[in-house]
């Protein structure tokens, strides 16, 4: 049987949650969404945080950018090594995502980012790839120096104990395979109340005050709209699944951490591969990328696939995509792109599955 690269873990609680909402006949945004936001706030343990549940992290990023005032023609620094969602969120506003190089640990290369700043640059989006946030202080320092907004793409990072220490804007993903899954969803988390109030309306087509009315079970028959809004809110069904998942996050997180810790100790020091330095005591890992020596990645990929083990390349750099290509190369990103390979990491893996993955990777590394 195939060992999947990624998978959610839905159980009885999620099934009960879906049933509860369907039986209530209220699947649009309302009580469950409100409760999910409250419970997320409790989970983060910081009363001053504001949480807005939306229908994806892509939507969260776009709304956060619009909320801080990013508009047509503005430039936003983004590491090229990210899912295309980060780039699309910027370009959806008519702004221009500027691809930046990454360091050896897949984190935005701050020097490269600085060299791409122009008078049009208004924001920077550090992507917490695999939960890594090594050089994050340098990102904030750069932002302070050049007066840039920081919006963190924390799609991979829900459940990381070091996340949410910084007073900017965090965008999480609750898509099917993330650490917490609503089937599809995301959240904007920030201590900035004014920004939150603005985005709250933007996520509901900018119908002013619609969130409060929906939570009270009312409809907006007479309302005003002041700017371009989007239908990006999270409905009760996804929120109820999210609440069930949140109540199981320690269980889910512990499995992810223990799988990743086994990989980290048992694959460490093998010939031809290198591992990223992630501390599994402070972060729930979303993906487990290994870095294979140049020229060998596809060989390992084929070897794993031939043993029915799922694997993938996260991610194709955005500056190599037709739409986002700006005519320059990013050497470290391109090198990593040819070397990265993600191996299975999710809460449905059994110990035997993990042993198989480790054995097959070892077999390949020793015999190649």
Ligand X SMILES: Cc1ncc(COP(=O)(O)O)c(C=O)c1O
Which residues of this chain interact with ligand X, rule CB under 6 A? 56-58, 82-83, 85-86, 127, 153, 155-156, 173, 175, 186
Nearest to 95 by CA among 77, 108, 110: 77
Nearer to ligand X, 278 or 361 (CB): 278
Q: Please report how close the Cβ of residue 247 comes to ligand X at its closest, in angstroms.
A: 21
Beta bridge partner(s), residue 290: 275, 341
CA distances from 135 to 121, 200, 311 (A): 20, 31, 27
| Burial class for 222, CB neighbours closer than 10 Å (0-12, 13-18, 19+) | exposed
Nearer to ligand X, 17 or 188 (CB): 188
Nearer to ligand X, 186 or 253 (CB): 186
Q: Please report how close the Cβ of residue 176 comes to ligand X at its closest, in angstroms.
A: 9
Q: Which residues contact residue 19 at a Cβ distance below 8 angstroms, ignoring those fewer than 6 apart?
A: none
Cis peptide bond N-terminal to 275, omega within 30 = no
Reading the block at residue 225, the tokens are 């709209």
Q: Please report how close the Cβ of residue 94 comes to ligand X at its closest, in angstroms.
A: 19
Q: How far apart are CA 353 and CA 4, in angstroms?
A: 10
Q: Please report how close the Cβ of residue 352 comes to ligand X at its closest, in angstroms.
A: 28
Q: How far apart are CA 344 and CA 44, in angstroms?
A: 28
Q: Please report how close the Cβ of residue 243 comes to ligand X at its closest, in angstroms.
A: 17
Q: For residue 352, how many other CB atoms are within 10 A of its CB?
A: 9
Nearer to ligand X, 78 or 360 (CB): 78
Q: Please report how close the Cβ of residue 147 comes to ligand X at its closest, in angstroms.
A: 25
Residue 250 near residue 231 (C-beta atoms within 8 A): no
Nearer to ligand X, 84 or 301 (CB): 84
Nearer to ligand X, 99 or 365 (CB): 99
Beta bridge partner(s), residue 231: 204
Nearer to ligand X, 186 or 344 (CB): 186
Q: How far apart are CA 237 and CA 240, in angstroms?
A: 5
Q: Please report how close the Cβ of residue 197 comes to ligand X at its closest, in angstroms.
A: 23
Nearer to ligand X, 153 or 272 (CB): 153
| Helix residue spans in 272-330 (DSSP H) | 297-306
Q: Which helix (H) or strand (E) holds 192?
A: none
Nearer to ligand X, 26 or 92 (CB): 92
Residue 153 near residue 128 (C-beta atoms within 8 A): yes
Q: How far apart are CA 77 and CA 32, in angstroms?
A: 35
Q: Please report how close the Cβ of residue 46 comes to ligand X at its closest, in angstroms.
A: 23
Buried b / exposed e along 103-125 (16+ C-beta atoms within 10 A): bebbbbbbebbbebbeeebbbbb
Reading the block at residue 37, the tokens are 């936001």
Q: Please report how close the Cβ of residue 82 comes to ligand X at its closest, in angstroms.
A: 5
């Amino acid at each position: 049987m195939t060992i999947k690269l990624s998978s959610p873990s839905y159980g009885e609680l999620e099934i009960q949650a879906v049933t509860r909402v369907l039986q209530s006949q209220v699947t649009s945004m309302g009580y469950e969404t409100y409760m999910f936001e409250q419970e997320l706030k409790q989970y983060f343990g910081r009363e001053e945080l504001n949480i807005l549940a939306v229908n994806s992290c892509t939507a969260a990023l776009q709304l956060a950018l619009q909320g801080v005032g990013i508009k047509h023609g503005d430039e936003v620094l983004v590491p090229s090594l990210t899912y295309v969602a980060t780039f699309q969120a910027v370009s959806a506003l008519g702004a221009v995502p500027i691809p930046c190089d990454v360091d050896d640990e897949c984190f935005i290369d701050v020097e490269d980012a600085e060299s791409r700043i122009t008078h049009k640059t208004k924001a920077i989006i550090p992507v917490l790839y695999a939960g890594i946030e090594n050089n994050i202080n340098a990102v904030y320092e750069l932002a302070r120096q050049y007066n840039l907004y920081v919006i963190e793409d924390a799609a991979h990072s829900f459940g990381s104990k070091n996340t949410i220490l910084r007073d900017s804007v965090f965008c999480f993903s609750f898509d099917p395979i993330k650490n917490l899954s609503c089937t599809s969803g995301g959240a904007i988390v920030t201590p900035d109340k004014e920004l939150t109030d603005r985005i709250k309306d933007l996520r509901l087509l900018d119908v002013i005050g619609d969130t409060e009315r929906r939570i009270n079970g009312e409809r907006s028959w007479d309302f005003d709209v002041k700017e371009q809004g989007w239908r990006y809110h999270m409905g009760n069904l996804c929120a109820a699944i999210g609440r069930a998942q949140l109540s199981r996050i320690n269980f889910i997180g512990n499995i992810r951490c223990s799988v990743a810790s086994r990989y980290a100790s048992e694959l460490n020091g093998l010939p031809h591969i290198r591992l990223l330095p992630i501390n599994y005591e402070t972060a729930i890992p979303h993906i487990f990328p290994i870095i294979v020596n140049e020229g060998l990645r596809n060989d390992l990929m084929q070897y794993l696939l031939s043993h029915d083990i799922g694997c993938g390349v996260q991610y194709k750099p955005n500056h190599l995509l037709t739409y986002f290509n700006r005519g320059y190369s990013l050497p470290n990103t391109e090198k990593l792109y040819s070397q990265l390979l993600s191996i299975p990491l999710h809460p449905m893996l059994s110990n035997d599955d993990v042993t198989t993955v480790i054995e097959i990777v070892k077999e390949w590394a020793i015999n190649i």
